[in-house]
Amino acid sequence: MQNVIRGKAFVFGTNISTDQIYPGQYLDLTDPDKVAEHAMQGADPSFVKEVKPGDIIVAAANFGCGSSREHAAVTLKTVGVGAILADSFGRIFYRNAINLGIPLVVCPGIADMVKQGDTVKIDLTTGDVTNDTTGKGATAQPLSPYVMEILASGGIKPMIKEQYGQ
Amino acid sequence: MHAIEKILAKAAGKTTVTTGEIVNCKVDLAGINDLYLQTVRSFFEMGGKKVYDPSKIVMFLDHYAPASTIMQADNQKQFREFCWDQGIDLLMDVDQGVCHQILADKGLVRPGMVLVVTDSHTTTHGAFGAFGTGVGATDCAIIMMTGQLWFRVPEIIRINLEGKLPKGVFAKDVILKVIGMLGADYGVYRGVEFTGPVLKELNISERMALCNMTTEMGAKTAYIQPDEITLAFLKDKVKQDYEIFTTDPGYKYAAEHTFDVSGLKPQVAAPHSVDNVFDVTEYAGKPVNQAFLGTCTGGRVEDIAVAARILKGKHINPRTRFIVVPASKGVFLEAMAKGYIQTLVEAGATFVTPGCAACLGTHQGMLANGETCITASSRNFPGRMGHNKAEIFVASPASVAAAALKGKIVNPADYLE
pLDDT at A147: 94
Asked if B134 lies within 8 A of A68 by C-beta distance, the reply is yes
**Nearest chain B Cα distance for residue A27, angstroms:** 6
SS3 assignment, position B406? helix
Asked if B47 lies within 8 A of A96 by C-beta distance, the reply is no
**Nearest chain B Cα distance for residue A92, angstroms:** 6
CATH tag, A4-164: 3.20.19.10
Dihedral sign, Cα of residue A139, residue B184, residue B132, residue A76: negative
Nearest residue on chain A to B145, judged by CA atoms? A164
Per-residue model confidence as pLDDT tens digits over B127-165:
999 999 999 999 999 999 999 999 999 999 999 999 999
Q: Which of A20, A31, A65 to mutate to test the interface with B (most CBs of B within 10 A)?
A: A65
DSSP codes of every residue in B65-89: SS--SHHHHHHHHHHHHHHHHHT--
Residue B1 makes CB contacts below 8 A (sequence gap 6+) with: B9, B16, B17, B247, B248, B251
Chain B contact present for A161, CB below 8 A: yes
Q: What is the 3-state secondary structure of B19-45?
A: CCCEEEEECCEEEEECCCCHHHHHHHH
Per-residue model confidence as pLDDT tens digits over B207-238:
999 999 999 999 999 999 999 999 999 999 99
pLDDT at A2: 84
Tell me the average pLDDT of chain B: 97
Residue A74 makes CB contacts below 8 A (sequence gap 6+) with: A32, A35, A36, A100, B38
Asked if B146 lies within 8 A of A69 by C-beta distance, the reply is no
Residue A106 makes CB contacts below 8 A (sequence gap 6+) with: A86, A87, A88, A89, A140, A141
| CB-CB neighbors (< 8 A) of A19 in chain B | 360-361, 379, 381-384
pLDDT at A132: 98
pLDDT at A11: 98
Question: Could you tell me if B92 and B108 are in contact, meaning their C-beta atoms sit under 8 angstroms apart?
Answer: no
Please name the member of A30, A42, A91 whose beta carbon is closest to the beta carbon of B382: A42
B15-36 mean pLDDT: 96
Per-residue model confidence as pLDDT tens digits over A109-125:
999 999 999 999 999 99
Chain B contact present for A100, CB below 8 A: yes
A88-95 mean pLDDT: 97
pLDDT bin (cut points 50, 70, 90) of residue B406 is: very high
Dihedral sign, Cα of residue B253, residue B234, residue B11, residue A160: negative
**Nearest chain A Cα distance for residue B338, angstroms:** 33
Asked if A27 lies within 8 A of B360 by C-beta distance, the reply is yes
B328-348 mean pLDDT: 98
**Count of pairs with CB atoms under 8 A, one residue in A, one in B:** 136
Per-residue model confidence as pLDDT tens digits over B194-212:
999 999 999 999 999 999 9
Buried-state track B59-70, b at ≥16 Cβ within 10 A, e below 16: bbbbbbbebeee
Question: Could you tell me if B1 and B111 are in contact, meaning their C-beta atoms sit under 8 angstroms apart?
Answer: no
| CB-CB neighbors (< 8 A) of A20 in chain B | 381-383
CATH architecture of the domain with range B3-244+251-258: 2-Layer Sandwich (3.30)
Residue B44 has pLDDT above 90, yes or no: yes
Fold assignment, B269-415: Aconitase; domain 3 (3.30.499)
CA distance A41 to B144: 32
Asked if B38 lies within 8 A of A70 by C-beta distance, the reply is yes
A61 closest CA partner among A111, A103, A18: A111
Residue A53 has pLDDT above 90, yes or no: yes
pLDDT bin (cut points 50, 70, 90) of residue B417 is: confident
B21-40 mean pLDDT: 97
Asked if B50 lies within 8 A of A166 by C-beta distance, the reply is yes
Asked if A100 lies within 8 A of B63 by C-beta distance, the reply is no
**Nearest chain B Cα distance for residue A32, angstroms:** 10
Domain boundaries, chain B: 3-244+251-258, 269-415
Strands B349-351 and B148-152: unpaired
CA distance B122 to B66: 22
Q: How far is it between the farthest Cα atoms of chain B?
A: 61
Domain boundaries, chain A: 4-164
Please name the member of B37, B63, B383 whose beta carbon is closest to the beta carbon of A30: B37
pLDDT bin (cut points 50, 70, 90) of residue A1 is: confident
Q: Does the fold of domain B269-415 match that of domain B3-244+251-258?
A: yes
| CB-CB neighbors (< 8 A) of B382 in chain A | 17, 19-20, 42-43
| CB-CB neighbors (< 8 A) of A144 in chain B | 22, 152
Query: ipTM value of the model?
Result: 0.96
B3-25 mean pLDDT: 97
pLDDT at A166: 83
Q: What percent of chain A has pLDDT over 70?
A: 100
Residue B111 has pLDDT above 90, yes or no: yes
CA distance B205 to B214: 15
Per-residue model confidence as pLDDT tens digits over A110-165:
999 999 999 999 999 999 999 999 999 999 999 999 999 999 999 999 999 999 98
Please name the member of A24, A99, A144 whose beta carbon is closest to the beta carbon of B22: A144
| CB-CB neighbors (< 8 A) of A74 in chain B | 38
Asked if A30 lies within 8 A of B38 by C-beta distance, the reply is yes
Rg (CA), chain A: 15
Residue A47 has pLDDT above 80, yes or no: yes
Q: Which of A21, A40, A67, A89 to mutate to test the interface with B (most CBs of B within 10 A)?
A: A67
Residue B11 has pLDDT above 80, yes or no: yes
**Nearest chain A Cα distance for residue B102, angstroms:** 19
